[in-house]
Structure 1
């Protein structure tokens, strides 16, 4: 876990102080409604227990503030000045304000004499001082009043009087919603908070539990300028301490979704994070997006060979096949079903119990599981060191960083073997998706395979997944065959240790997979009626015969049918052609079925194509995905965010997986084959729309 993104701080109270000065003699209905909207918006953001859980704040709301004495009583009665070091405070202040002749800011009191603000108005700096001078470890003050930024002079005076340790060690910030010569409009800041709340739950994609001040202000600015015809006031930072550059517990992220804690500590060390564990579970289960079922029930011979290898004395096992033929499923099944903590969960325990004899790897068989997608050799070497439980040592100034990391890995693995007497199991999937696969073979996989004792005993058990073309077919994937050949030679893998997932015998497994997918859910193929079972079996057989050896295309075809209201006629030429067209055909059907007048096929395709061109872990939403989509389509979209949301919320969302990179949620195609299809110049609109 990144300490900067998820800081560990002392436990204390989270308190939201809602100070709304109202009941002015001349206030109208719009002003009262605006105050109510602010209270609702702030309460939703900071105090919604259902959404925030233990990040929710308790509310201290001022009942009636008519005089200076009332506000002083509120400060005293709530203990604002006496907040403890572990407390987190958010002070939301709204009401009429003015700037005095001395430049200080004052809150107008409803019960005061408008001719004597010097006596009856409340010095805003006194309220700010009460919060900043407390011992609370984190304080955020939001001033939403006329001439709000005029509080800057008061804040600077208060800050100068704070002790040095308070300025250096507390996380303190003050925000003004309007400038020193401006007045907020009714409902303006409430509208802004609501917009930002919605952004953080969708387009912003910030994955952390809490926001930095910079992230909060950036999203406020983006929301304020959302409608160029009617811009809202952009809030101002008034003052802050340096610690606001880190996530603040005073700014809970409403878009945060805690990862499923599926594995125990041992497995969490193997997988880089919960997102990576989700990768293995998705591939191992063969489940569509948001579906907890377990559908891969065949592949017994391949699974048995893999399990046997994982109980052996080391060496190399290569799992290979054409795109979509289930390489990752075989590998990921071994990774997932060797984790005792995952097996403790009922749905995975059921999968293990139903497994044919000899197909389960022993618990704890896999030590490290790495994904090679979009990584280079130094990246993967670094991740391997970390996954083995060590910190990468700094490389010498003029040395080869890869060699330096290999030496450290050799030391770690040798020490482990000396202590346990068994080889360390390393899994690397998606070799062909690395940035430079051949370098990865030379820099990492070959050296790992050659690690041995002086007596020739292997120190590593290496399991690698790599794409290759189907035997006896045309050779559009010759580059992958060259990579497979290089991998075999570099690791000295014997022919018997190369498992293919695309042999002629795959038909039965595909048919079983399709039938199981069709039976799930509430679609027209679910149920135990004899006629339903017969239709399911016959449909699955047609799918398997047309798409073999692709599990990816089987999943897409069956997923499309089980979402229908009626069964698919098996003699429909268009449907049969879509199966023959494999991935392209299924994508065409789903694009057609999800298109609307507002979101036509071409635009839906553009969203997916933009994700296909993304590097790294995927494409972030925010401003990037809309801009990429418009660039791919070479047009300006009237509602790019709505278009992306339409894709993610429907069946097309199943073509994408989410990940986290640099603290942001990113999206990529669920399979590299889909990305390849969408990146091809010949596919885009004409080929996809041509159904």
Structure 2
């Protein structure tokens, strides 16, 4: 077949693109020292090392998988050179190269380190061994953008002088444009213990998958070193910690180091998932009404009038405006907003979960596809963080801000410029404004500058919000706590609630307001509970139980969710529902009573109630977005458990049981500083946990 010049060129471009994106794992392991004592044990240890390395570097993620090259059989020094030549290591191109070198090392009289081979002669390392720095140099001086070398041999710390010389010889253009890191596992005079490296590596892998909570798909080199060192006894730390002999000069995650704890989530929420992966989980939790993260059901029911209003607000016929969704605590404001975020998302609409929601929803209650541009949770964020999160959600890179400049002003201006330039309606969903820091500044400096784009356009301009000539247009859908508890019985609003609502009305006097806690929401709560417990309980029981629960917990949907979870996990739901104690002491006490009951029952899951409560309190007391697992959560929880004490492994087991058991529904999670963090699922719950006089364990008095 004849190829044209253009086809050949395109083929070459494709090949170059594939090369530039590839990631490679090379392992050079010397294992068969047949004449040595304990040769079989050493060979088995080397195999364990290779197994641990393969498991770590097989971690899936968003980048192309590592191409693993089988380790060669290394007997003579020529075998080393043959491998480097056959794999074209010096001329390799790609995005990432990880090179692992292991075997016996030789520390010469000079500041030189050799890799000893089975055919090496002890007194002739220059002729019969291989200078380890020469192997490392082949990788460092390749054309790969990011290189990480790990050397696990005896006396590897003795390479420092050699490597310093190698580093000086690397061309300056490469040194400045590439990231090059070299780690060694031993000090100057330390011999390796062949099983120590795989044991420490496996322990770090386990921690990263369970406790570390690092959410980025790749690790920074310091994070990798820190997790590795956590498994070392204090007396061995200096001898066997990882030494960073050549540093890439950045603390950013390295594509050479996959994160075993990274959760490669399905793209349920498209752009939201790409910009903030765990924020996608927040919107899904609220939209579905699921009691626990592992639940795959769609339980949101009712609210047809409110959902119809939201869908109409998001339609092409309404390209501008402000809609405030308000209600008392726990009344489902976030659920309404999250439903709009999820059901409008083009990627989510391709999933079975969307089809399930669509099947039970009137057509005019489903927002148009792609009608939500950006969704931001403002909980515990200040004005700068809200502006930055908004830019992230819009896919706009944040400008660097000088120390003397105001981040809020700079980033807010960026948002306005994006609105003017994008040529289409920008729809922003903002939830949790009442739980944000700097509420007044968020309204005045982030939202208020968008007010001109929310009002009626200048006469003569197009109003459909599309096309090159369309005027800038913004829709704001905002959830905020402040309302009445019944249509005909307005309650006294707090000063904070009045101030927040008045501030919004002053900026957006034409804003439309919809309530989530009117008396009509009782019927919505009944539908939600029926969906939540219907699969676990027969219909006759459901018909009897649901009105009892609604009478006790309305208008709090968070209480309804927790009560429904208790019912469907009960061995006898009807007996529980008819129990006078459950009704009077649990349901009518709201979230406090529900938590008290679950704390009493959690002991059956081998999680002591006082330990569970200590962990929940620690999450409530944590600042920012929540508490990370690692060493922080156990440390804070330990204060509430005194005088009892648990060791690190016991705390990890307790946290694992908490997150996987009946109390998991009391926690929500977020991301802060690239760490997964945990917090109470609702501010009402946080208030209960922070109450020093709350007798949550039934001890007859304060136990905090």
TM score, norm. by length of structure 2: 0.84
Aligned equivalent of 2:520, options 505, 515, 520: 505
CA distance in 2, matches of 1:425, 1:238: 47
Aligned equivalent of 1:173, options 169, 174, 181: 181
**Matching residue of 1:27:** 37
Structure 1 residues 532-587: Cα deviation after superposition (integer angstroms, max 9, x where no partner): 22123322232222211111111111122323444351332332221122112222
Question: Which secondary structure state, in structure 1, belongs to the residue aligned with residue 35 of structure 2?
Answer: coil
Question: Which secondary structure state, in structure 1, belongs to the residue aligned with residue 21 of structure 2?
Answer: coil
Q: Bigger shift: 652-661 or 628-637?
A: 628-637
Task: Check whether the contact 1:149–1:236 (CA below 8 A) recurs between aligned residues.
Answer: no
- Asked whether 1:625 is paired with 2:633, we answer yes
**Matching residue of 2:504:** 487
Question: Which secondary structure state, in structure 2, belongs to the residue aligned with residue 641 of structure 1?
Answer: helix
CA distance in 2, matches of 1:595, 1:127: 56
**Matching residue of 1:339:** 345
- Asked whether 1:660 is paired with 2:660, we answer no
Question: Which secondary structure state, in structure 1, belongs to the residue aligned with residue 240 of structure 2?
Answer: coil
CA distance in 2, matches of 1:85, 1:407: 41
- How far the C-alpha of 1:295 sits from its partner, in A, is 0.9
Q: Bigger shift: 120-129 or 213-222?
A: 120-129
Structure 1 residues 246-288: Cα deviation after superposition (integer angstroms, max 9, x where no partner): 33222111111123323455x67xx953332332222122123
- How far the C-alpha of 1:385 sits from its partner, in A, is 5.2
CA distance in 1, matches of 2:394, 2:578: 54
Task: Check whether the contact 1:601–1:689 (CA below 8 A) recurs between aligned residues.
Answer: no
**Matching residue of 2:582:** 575
Task: Check whether the contact 2:102–2:152 (CA below 8 A) recurs between aligned residues.
Answer: yes
CA distance in 2, matches of 1:332, 1:23: 62
CA distance in 2, matches of 1:286, 1:30: 55
- Asked whether 1:80 is paired with 2:89, we answer yes
Q: 1:553 to 1:343 in 2, by over 3 A?
A: same
**Matching residue of 1:356:** 362
CA distance in 2, matches of 1:474, 1:600: 40
Aligned equivalent of 1:644, options 644, 655, 658: 655
Q: Bigger shift: 579-588 or 69-78?
A: 69-78
Question: Which secondary structure state, in structure 1, belongs to the residue aligned with residue 33 of structure 2?
Answer: coil
CA distance in 2, matches of 1:90, 1:395: 35
Task: Check whether the contact 1:450–1:491 (CA below 8 A) recurs between aligned residues.
Answer: no
Aligned equivalent of 2:145, options 122, 133, 137: 137
**Matching residue of 2:469:** none
- How far the C-alpha of 1:501 sits from its partner, in A, is 1.6
- Asked whether 1:326 is paired with 2:332, we answer yes
CA distance in 2, matches of 1:61, 1:602: 51
Structure 1 residues 138-174: Cα deviation after superposition (integer angstroms, max 9, x where no partner): 3322222221211222222322332223332333222
**Matching residue of 1:246:** 252
Q: Which runs of 5+ in 2 are unaligned?
A: 1-17, 464-471
Question: Which secondary structure state, in structure 2, belongs to the residue aligned with residue 660 of structure 1?
Answer: strand
Question: Which secondary structure state, in structure 2, belongs to the residue aligned with residue 214 of structure 1?
Answer: helix
Aligned equivalent of 1:296, options 295, 300, 316: 300
- How far the C-alpha of 1:473 sits from its partner, in A, is 7.8
Aligned equivalent of 1:675, options 686, 690, 693: 686
Q: 1:614 to 1:507 in 2, by over 3 A?
A: same
Question: Which secondary structure state, in structure 2, belongs to the residue aligned with residue 595 of structure 1?
Answer: helix
Aligned equivalent of 1:278, options 268, 276, 281: 281
- What does 1:148-547 align with in structure 2 at a 5 Å threshold? 148-225=156-233, 228=234, 233-242=239-248, 245-264=251-270, 272-288=275-291, 289-311=293-315, 312=318, 314-356=320-362, 358-384=364-390, 387=393, 413=419, 424-445=426-447, 448-449=450-451, 452=455, 460-468=474-482, 470-471=484-485, 472=489, 479-493=496-510, 497-520=512-535, 523=536, 525=537, 532-547=538-553
CA distance in 2, matches of 1:505, 1:432: 24
**Matching residue of 2:111:** 103
TM score, norm. by length of structure 1: 0.85
- How far the C-alpha of 1:433 sits from its partner, in A, is 0.4
Task: Check whether the contact 1:287–1:294 (CA below 8 A) recurs between aligned residues.
Answer: yes
Q: Bigger shift: 347-356 or 453-462?
A: 453-462
- Asked whether 1:66 is paired with 2:75, we answer yes
Task: Check whether the contact 2:607–2:658 (CA below 8 A) recurs between aligned residues.
Answer: no
Question: Which secondary structure state, in structure 1, belongs to the residue aligned with residue 476 of structure 2?
Answer: strand
Aligned equivalent of 2:26, options 6, 16, 19: 16
Task: Check whether the contact 1:149–1:238 (CA below 8 A) recurs between aligned residues.
Answer: no
Q: 1:57 to 1:613 in 2, by over 3 A?
A: farther
**Matching residue of 1:4:** none
CA distance in 2, matches of 1:539, 1:453: 49
Aligned equivalent of 2:602, options 581, 594, 605: 594
- How far the C-alpha of 1:373 sits from its partner, in A, is 1.1
Task: Check whether the contact 1:606–1:630 (CA below 8 A) recurs between aligned residues.
Answer: yes
Question: Which secondary structure state, in structure 2, belongs to the residue aligned with residue 464 of structure 1?
Answer: strand
Q: 1:87 to 1:304 in 2, by over 3 A?
A: closer
CA distance in 2, matches of 1:112, 1:357: 77
CA distance in 2, matches of 1:310, 1:115: 80
CA distance in 2, matches of 1:92, 1:689: 60
Structure 1 residues 442-501: Cα deviation after superposition (integer angstroms, max 9, x where no partner): 44445544654586999544322111354448759564345334434543257xx43222
Question: Which secondary structure state, in structure 1, belongs to the residue aligned with residue 637 of structure 2?
Answer: helix
Structure 1 residues 99-139: Cα deviation after superposition (integer angstroms, max 9, x where no partner): 11223222333344445545433332333333333333333
- How far the C-alpha of 1:607 sits from its partner, in A, is 1.4
Task: Check whether the contact 2:93–2:145 (CA below 8 A) recurs between aligned residues.
Answer: yes
Question: Which secondary structure state, in structure 1, belongs to the residue aligned with residue 336 of structure 2?
Answer: helix
